[in-house]
Amino acid sequence: MDRRKFTRRHLIFYLRIFDENNILLGYLLDISEGGILMMSESEIPEGRKLKLSIKLPKEINEGDTLHFTGLVKRVNKDINENFYDIGIEILEKDKNYAEILHKLVDFCGFFK
């Protein structure tokens, strides 16, 4: 049984996720209004609060960057054991987050 409040959308291609120091942390696997799933080579501890950004394709908001703060809620080994799947709850987000989410769904070919 799926207990999510928001519908997750899965990506056909991965967007890069950076920390507040512009260091690549991982790649966006799926996204909703309430959170993201990121694939990373680094294990990030549950409970850690992160300031993150996603560089958008130029076709979305002219290649703007989406900024948000998230809380790591779960960490699991990926099918590929060199990576971790990291579930992040979004705590604070850009005011245009929902609008950009819909543009990503349309542009990137997300599916349910």
Kindly report, residue by residue over 13-37, the tens digit of the pLDDT.
Answer: 578 999 999 999 999 988 888 899 9
The answer to whether residue 66 sits within a structural domain is: yes
State the amino acid at position 19 in one-letter form.
Answer: D
pLDDT tier for residue 69 given thresholds of 50, 70 and 90: very high
- 3 domain residue, yes or no: no
CB atoms within 10 A of CB 60: 18
Domains held by the chain: number? 1
Task: Give domain status of residue 18, yes or no.
Answer: yes
Q: Which domain holds residue 34?
A: 9-108
For residue 70, the number of C-alpha atoms closer than 13 Å in the C-beta half-sphere is 29
Tell me the per-residue pLDDT of 41-57, one tens digit each, with 9 for 90 and over.
999 999 999 999 998 87
Contacts (Cβ under 8 Å, ≥6 apart) of 2: none
pTM to 2 decimal places: 0.81
Q: What is the CATH number of the domain that holds 73?
A: 2.40.10.220
97 within some domain: yes
